Amino acid sequence: MEDSGGRGESARAVLAGALGAGFALATGELVSAALDAAPSPLLAVGGRFIDRFAGSLKDLAVAVFGTNDKPALVAGTIVITVLLGAASGHAALRRPWVPWATFGAFGVFGAWAQATDEQVGTFTALVVCVVSVLAGVGATAGLLVAGRLQTHPPALDEGVGAPERSQAIEWSRRRFALASGGLLVVSAGFVAAGRALTQGDVIAAARAIPLPRPIRRRALPGRAGQAEAGRAGVSPYVTPNADFYRIDTALSSPLVDVADWRLRIGGLVEHPFLLSYEELLSLDSVEEAVTLQCVSNEVGGDLVGNAVWQGVPLLTLLDRAGVRASAEQVFSTSVDGWTCGFPLSVLDGDRPALVAYAMNGERLPVRHGFPARLVVSGLYGYVSATKWLTEVELTTWDGADGYWVPRGWSKTGPIKLASRIDVPSAGTTIEPGPTVFGGVAWLPAVGISVVEVSIDDGEWVECRLASVASEHTWVQWTYRWIATRGRHEVRVRAVDAHGTVQVEKSAPPAPDGASGYHRVEFEVA
């Protein structure tokens, strides 16, 4: 009896309470989203904590979790809720009413937090919390039942033989594990569905403000100039939004409500100002084709993509603010506290540097920084391309370090000249006879003049280049070859528009970007 009814059973009761509490939170997320009641109880409680303890607790969260104080408070709220759930699950073994009391008290707290937020009505908050509490208590009770032995306790104590008893224990364990796993999956599903609903709302709200026409379009080269690369299987010149690589530190992309969103231009400027989404979209905008690359991209890697961005030139906004002579760095911050910075002097020439709100003709996708992001030609993303942008601040060079700088990455991040082989892909077998190799090469802000390949360490031979929109994008290259039987290797290198040849020496991505020639081995048979 001690084994099944004692330790095992209390462990299961603790888990039942914890999972029930998690399920209550997940239900709160989904029901809030369905009833259009943002913030959800979870976020509302986190928000109340921020308001109440802004001085003390928030500083603690900042100290412990860096600048991510809001996610830290939400995580803290989840942990506390789950721990209290666990304790009440355990207590329920003796006093079944305890989960009602704890979950109920939590529900009241959640409803209060939600209802005192101006955006949610009291009745809606009550509905959300009553449903969440019922779901939580119900789930906990259900799990407790699933984990209980089917045989009656008196029979266990007396007449039941050992084999039957251990079988009953085994059954109840299995049933409990299944029910717990199921509940976890359903909870995750609720959270995901709630997010999807909220994301739909956020985008729908933004659609009320139509995308303006740019005053200058970026003409894309005709398809004819890229036909051979296309046929050969080279990456498309413009990367579709759905295929564009995604890199960020966000656990889940921030969902920004454009009604509340503001872009602040400040720091070392004469007249700091705020812009709403509507105001940003009312300014003259341009379109620019710019290739974006992550510093973490390995030689031959796919953390690089090319898109047509629409937005307001950063200089328009900086001129309006009046940059002071002491400013040296353009330092930007996202709504989730991520930061980066690049030298102000980068903007001296006429390279594209945009506060972008559209990507390939569509509103910026949430995962790529909706409602607005920075795009600067020629700089790695980690020093320039802030998504979910909320502030651009002018600072001195030493006055601020972006997120990745204290983590060991270089403070300046100009993109390195690079080239990649898309076809053939490594390890493939191709047929003997005429074949076409191809890939991409890039050095945004400078451009590419020549791409060369070397087969089996032979001479470097020049490739054909497809047409491009500007020097700010990658170029597709192709090379025709008569394939002969056997194992082969192809290497690629590029020459930039100034005549500088790509660096051959291999370097890893850290601290300032990979270098070296991409090589691919293949077989002809």
Ligand X SMILES: Nc1nc2c(c(=O)[nH]1)N[C@H]1C(S)=C(S)[C@@H](COP(=O)(O)O)O[C@H]1N2
Q: Which residues contribute to the site for Mo ion (CB under 5 A)?
A: 247, 294, 381-382
Residues 375, 210, 204: CA angle, nearest 5 degrees: 95
> SS3 for 380?
coil
C-alpha span between 372 and 390 (Å, rounded) = 8
The torsion angle over the Cα atoms of residues 302, 519, 521 and 428, rounded to 10 degrees, is 20
The CB-of-382 to ligand X minimum distance in angstroms stands at: 4
- Using CB under 6 A as the binding rule, the residues of this chain from 392 to 421 that contact ligand X are none
User: Where would I find the beta strands (DSSP E) of 344-432?
Assistant: 353-359, 362-363, 373-376, 389-395, 418-423, 429-430
Cβ proximity to Mo ion, 16 vs 294, nearer residue: 294
Q: How far is the CB of 141 from ligand X (least distance, A)?
A: 42
Least CB distance from residue 246 to ligand X, whole Å? 4
Closest separation in Å from C-beta 295 to Mo ion: 5
Q: Which of 448, 439, 425 is nearest to 304 (CA)?
A: 439
Nearer to Mo ion, 230 or 301 (CB): 301
* 194 vs 413, beta carbon nearer Mo ion: 413
- Picked from ligand X, Mo ion, none, the partner binding residue 464 (CB below 5 to 8 A depending on kind) is none
Q: What is the DSSP letter of 27?
A: H
With the C-alpha atoms ordered 223, 225, 228, 233, is the resulting torsion angle positive or negative?
A: negative
The whole-angstrom separation of Cα 316 and Cα 293 is 25
The site map against ligand X for 326-355 (x = CB under 6 A) is --------x---x-----------------
249 interacts with, out of ligand X, Mo ion, none, CB within 5 to 8 A per kind: ligand X
- How open is the CA angle 499-516-289, to the nearest 5 degrees? 60
Identify which of residues 100 and 382 has a Cβ nearer to ligand X in the complex.
382
* Residue 246 site contact among Mo ion, ligand X, none (CB < 5 to 8 Å, cut-off depends on kind): ligand X
Q: Is 518 in the site for ligand X (CB under 6 A)?
A: no
Find which of ligand X, Mo ion, none residue 78 binds, CB within 5 to 8 Å per kind: none
Q: Which amino acid is at 284?
A: D
Q: At its nearest, how many Å lie between Mo ion and the CB of residue 413?
A: 9
- C-alpha pair distances (Å), 524 with each of 300, 423, 482: 21, 13, 10
**Which is closer to Mo ion, CB of 251 or CB of 497?**
251
Instruction: Please select the residue that binds ligand X; options are 190, 309, 388, 442, rule is CB under 6 A.
Output: 388
Block residue for tokens 């400013």: 327
Rounded to a whole number, what is the distance in angstroms from the first to the last CA of the chain?
Answer: 69
**Count of residues that interact with ligand X, criterion CB under 6 A:** 18
Give which of ligand X, Mo ion, none residue 364 binds (C-beta under 5 to 8 Å, depending on kind): none
Tokens of 64: 């412990």
Min CB(382)–Mo ion separation in Å: 4
323's contact among Mo ion, ligand X, none, with CB below 5 to 8 A by partner kind, is none
Q: Dig out the tokens for 341 from the structure.
A: 């910075």
For ligand X, the nearest residue by Cβ is 381
**DSSP character string of 230-260:** HHHTPPPSSPPGGGS----S-SS-----TTT
220-279 residues in contact with ligand X (CB under 6 A) are 244-250
By CB under 6 A, residue 385 contacts ligand X: yes
* CB distance 37 to 129 below 8 Å: no
Residue span 155-184 as binding mask against ligand X, x where in contact by CB under 6 A, dash where not: ------------------------------
Q: Which of 178/251 has CB closer to Mo ion?
A: 251
Q: Which does 388 bind (CB under 5 to 8 A by kind): ligand X, Mo ion, none?
A: ligand X
Residue 346 interacts with, from Mo ion, ligand X, none (CB under 5-8 Å by kind): none
CB of 288 to ligand X, least distance (A): 15
- Please list the residues that pair with 146 across neighbouring strands: none
Closer by beta carbon to ligand X, 382 or else 437: 382
125 binds, among Mo ion, ligand X, none (CB under 5 to 8 A by kind): none
Among 292, 463, 469, 483, binds ligand X (CB under 6 A): 292
Residue 167's contacts (CB-CB under 8 Å, 6 or more residues apart) are none
Phi first, then psi: give them for residue 330, nearest 5 degrees: -100, 110
Q: Segment contacting ligand X (CB under 6 A): 36-44, 138-146, 214-222, 384-392?
A: 384-392
Instruction: Name the one range near ligand X by CB under 6 A: 129-137, 223-231, 380-388, 478-486.
Output: 380-388
DSSP code of 436?
E
Residue 106 or 338: the one with the smaller Cβ distance to ligand X is: 338
List the Cα angle 16/22/25 in 5-degree steps: 140
The residue nearest Mo ion at its CB is 294
Does the protein bind ligand X through residue 368 (CB under 6 A)?
yes
Helices then strands, each counted (H, E), the chain: 12, 19
Q: How far apart are CA 39 and CA 120, in angstroms?
A: 8
Q: Let me know: does 27 contact 37? Beta carbons within 8 Å.
A: no
Cross-strand bridge partners of residue 216? 286
Q: Would you call 53 helix, strand, or coil by DSSP?
A: coil
CB of 290 to ligand X, least distance (A): 11
Query: Residue 433, class by beta-carbon neighbours within 10 Å (0-12 exposed, 13-18 middle, 19+ buried)?
Result: exposed
48 binds, among ligand X, Mo ion, none (CB under 5 to 8 A by kind): none
Which residue lies nearer to Mo ion by CB, 385 or 440? Answer: 385
Residues forming the site for ligand X (CB under 6 A): 244-250, 292, 294, 334, 338, 368, 381-382, 385-388
